[in-house]
Amino acid sequence: YIKQGEEALQKSLSILGDQDGWKTETVVDNGDKVQSKVLPDVGKVFRLEVVVDQPLDAVYSELVDNMEQMGEWNPSVKEVKILQKIGKDTVITHEKAAATPGNIVGPRDFVSVRCAKRRGSTCVLAGMATKYGAMPEQQGFVRAENGPTCMILRPVAGDPSQTKLTWLLS
């Protein structure tokens, strides 16, 4: 699982590092933007770049330390459960997506391996779908697979009370 988490991290950073081929989907007045790109081995991926009005440590804590409370503030998430912690950087999670109107597939759930790494003032949170014997497919849910996904957190230059968040979503 640690190797899978590292693989998700490296693949995500490689995708984000390649500046070619990104198509702008949306730019908001405040500078937030969404771009997309189609990759042969992954499909369509999205890159979201926003500034969060919170210091990096607060954002990191919310996304990593308080991961199981994500459903309280993220409307697309119904529930996140940590199934197993592996070492200091890696966890296996089970996520249930919130119901969405018009979804003909039905409610989805995911089993993911996630890793969190801090390098200087930069934090990288990465994940991808995995198999986990103790969490078979759940009745009433369609098991979906995602990945690689990644969030990069950096303090805004000159304003440590804000965090630049770059999110790769597939």
* pLDDT for the residue 164: 96
* pLDDT for the residue 38: 94
Question: Which one of 3.30.530.20, 3.40.1190.20, 3.20.10.10, 3.30.200.20 gives the CATH number of domain 2-169?
Answer: 3.30.530.20
Give the pLDDT confidence of 99-116 residue by residue, as tens digits.
Answer: 777 767 778 999 999 999
In angstroms, what CA-CA distances link 159 with 55, 79, 102?
9, 33, 42
Give the pLDDT confidence of 14-56 residue by residue, as tens digits.
Answer: 999 999 999 999 999 988 999 999 998 888 999 999 999 999 9
Going from N- to C-terminal start, the domains of the chain cover: 2-169
Compare 74 and 54 and report the one with higher pLDDT: 54
Its pTM surpasses 0.85: yes
* pLDDT for the residue 40: 87
Q: Which long-range contacts link 34-39 to residues 24+ away (Cβ below 8 Å)? A: 39/15
* pLDDT for the residue 119: 87
